């Protein structure tokens, strides 16, 4: 077991003391980096990167060569599970992910099987092992998955959606069918994340990207319920350390107390939730991750620094804060602005950890 040279990210998730607030970015290996664009062109397409462990390792490490980030995150996609279920994931330029097959009937749901990650997604687990080896203890490695509800929306709609019409039609008309689908997906996510942990992931995040599209009661029944099941089924200790779990529901600020009761170690916040208010509501039950508006990175480095200072002050002193964007960094961001953001977090946050 290689000793971690920088463990402040894991320490912050466990609400332990750190010297400065750790920082990483959702989608930190992405199209805003010219080196990533070159790797993607060489691979031919996005799935060519995801499906090749060496290429996935290369792009995972690229942002760490540029910036003093406190964590690496596996380069993959949340839709690998539906792809492994036989739905045929592909990407249309400028249109996002699509599936060749959809899941819209009871028969479609009943035909799905819980995945075996070692058999069905070996390239992901091989990438995790390779990345962990190449990191050599520099920073921790984050594994991830989509939430069952988020995965279900793509599987039912056949891709992205503005109104989730077909998914909500199944939810309201045949809730028992939707529950069977979500149960199968939850069991698959448990197996998938445990596979990543066994391969070397030192923390995991569940991306509930579309949970905020649900009505209040529907969120509890069709999203939160299954994330709680996943948290209960995960390996929570490995290599003598806790394996922290982060839950991130985009648009989920109204459910922070319920999310904190799932057994997760940390909650991700988007930019619509005030950091001070979130901390007041969850107390010391969980760490908080976030929550800068990604579009602030289009502003000047001086303005970015001001926003970092504001969020640090909003959280206040003490442990339990991982600085991040409120969602993924966007392709048009100047890499120098991302660097200014990361430097500002490290330079300004020490005063909150004396």
User: Is 123 one of the annotated binding-site residues?
Assistant: no
Catalytic (active site) residue 27: yes
Domain annotation covers residue 247: yes
Task: Count how many domains the chain has.
Answer: 1
pLDDT digits (tens, 9 = 90+) for 106-122: 999 999 999 999 999 99
Residues 6 or more apart whose CB falls under 8 angstroms from that of 92 comprise 98
Residue holding tokens 């988007």? 270
Question: For the whole model, what pTM was predicted?
Answer: 0.97
How confident is the model at residue 46, as a pLDDT? Answer: 86
Strand partners, 145: 206
Domain annotation covers residue 180: yes
Domain annotation covers residue 323: no
Among the listed residues 36, 67, 154, 219, the single catalytic one is 154
Please say whether the beta carbons of 117 and 191 come within 8 A.
yes
Among the listed residues 77, 183, 261, 293, the single catalytic one is 77
User: Is 154 one of the annotated binding-site residues?
Assistant: yes
Domain annotation covers residue 188: yes
Integer Cα distance of 25 and 27 in angstroms: 6
User: Is 27 one of the annotated binding-site residues?
Assistant: yes
Among the listed residues 27, 104, 238, 242, the single catalytic one is 27
pLDDT digits (tens, 9 = 90+) for 79-103: 999 999 999 998 877 778 899 999 9
Among the listed residues 11, 40, 279, 305, the single catalytic one is 40
The domain in which residue 90 lies consists of 33-283
Residues belonging to the chain: 354
Domain annotation covers residue 24: no
Catalytic (active site) residue 77: yes
User: Is 88 one of the annotated binding-site residues?
Assistant: no
How confident is the model at residue 1, as a pLDDT? Answer: 61
Give 236-295 as a DSSP string: -EETTEE--EEEEETT-GGGHHHHHTTT-SEEE--TTS-HHHHHHHHTTSSEEEEEE-GG
For 172, the enclosing helix (H) or strand (E) is helix 165-173
Domain annotation covers residue 253: yes
Domain annotation covers residue 179: yes
User: Is 77 one of the annotated binding-site residues?
Assistant: yes
Domain annotation covers residue 289: no
3-state secondary structure of 102: coil
User: Is 327 one of the annotated binding-site residues?
Assistant: yes
Residues 6 or more apart whose CB falls under 8 angstroms from that of 181 comprise 103, 109, 112, 148, 152, 155, 170
For every one of its 354 residues, what pLDDT tens digit does the chain have, with 9 covering 90 and above?
678 999 999 999 999 999 999 999 999 999 999 999 999 999 988 888 999 999 999 999 999 999 999 999 999 999 999 999 999 998 877 778 899 999 999 999 999 999 999 999 999 999 999 999 999 999 999 999 999 999 999 999 998 899 999 999 999 999 999 999 999 999 999 999 999 999 999 999 999 999 999 999 999 999 999 999 999 999 999 999 999 999 999 999 999 999 999 999 999 999 999 999 999 999 999 999 999 999 999 999 999 999 999 999 999 999 999 999 999 999 999 999 999 999 999 999 999 998
Catalytic (active site) residue 67: no
User: Is 303 one of the annotated binding-site residues?
Assistant: no
Integer Cα distance of 142 and 27 in angstroms: 12
Instruction: Look up the CATH number of the domain holding residue 226.
Output: 3.20.20.210
How confident is the model at residue 45, as a pLDDT? Answer: 85
């Amino acid at each position: 077991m290689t000793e971690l040279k920088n463990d402040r990210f894991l320490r912050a998730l466990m609400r332990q003391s750190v010297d400065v607030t750790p920082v990483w970015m959702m989608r930190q290996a992405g199209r805003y980096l010219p080196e990533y664009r070159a790797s993607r062109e060489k691979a031919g397409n996005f799935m060519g990167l995801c499906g090749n462990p060496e290429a996935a390792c290369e792009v995972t490490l690229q942002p760490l060569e540029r910036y003093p980030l406190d964590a690496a995150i596996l380069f993959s996609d949340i839709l690998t599970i539906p792809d492994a279920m036989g739905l045929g994931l592909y990407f249309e330029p400028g249109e996002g992910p699509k599936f060749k097959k959809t899941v819209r009937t009871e028969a479609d749901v009943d035909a799905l099987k819980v995945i075996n990650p070692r058999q069905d997604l070996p390239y992901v687990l091989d990438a995790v092992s390779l990345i962990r080896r190449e990191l050599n203890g520099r920073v921790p490695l984050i594994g991830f998955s989509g939430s069952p509800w988020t995965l279900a929306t793509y599987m039912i709609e056949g891709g992205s959606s503005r109104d989730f019409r077909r998914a909500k039609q199944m939810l309201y008309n045949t809730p028992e069918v939707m529950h069977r689908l979500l149960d199968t997906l939850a069991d698959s996510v448990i197996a998938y994340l445990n596979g990543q942990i066994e391969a070397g992931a030192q923390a995991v995040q569940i991306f509930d990207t579309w949970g905020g599209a649900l009505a209040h009661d529907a969120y509890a029944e069709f999203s939160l319920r299954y994330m709680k099941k996943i948290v209960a089924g995960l390996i929570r200790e490995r290599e003598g350390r806790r394996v922290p779990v982060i839950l991130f529901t985009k648009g989920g600020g109204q459910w922070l107390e319920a999310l904190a009761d799932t057994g997760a170690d940390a909650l991700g916040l988007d930019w619509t939730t005030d950091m001070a208010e979130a901390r007041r509501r969850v107390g010391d039950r969980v760490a908080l991750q976030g929550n800068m508006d990604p579009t602030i990175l289009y502003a000047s480095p001086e303005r970015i620094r001001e926003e970092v200072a504001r969020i640090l002050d909003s959280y206040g002193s003490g442990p339990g804060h991982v600085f991040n964007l409120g969602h993924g960094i966007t392709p048009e961001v100047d890499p120098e602005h991302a660097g200014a953001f990361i430097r500002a977090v490290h330079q300004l946050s020490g005063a909150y950890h004396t």
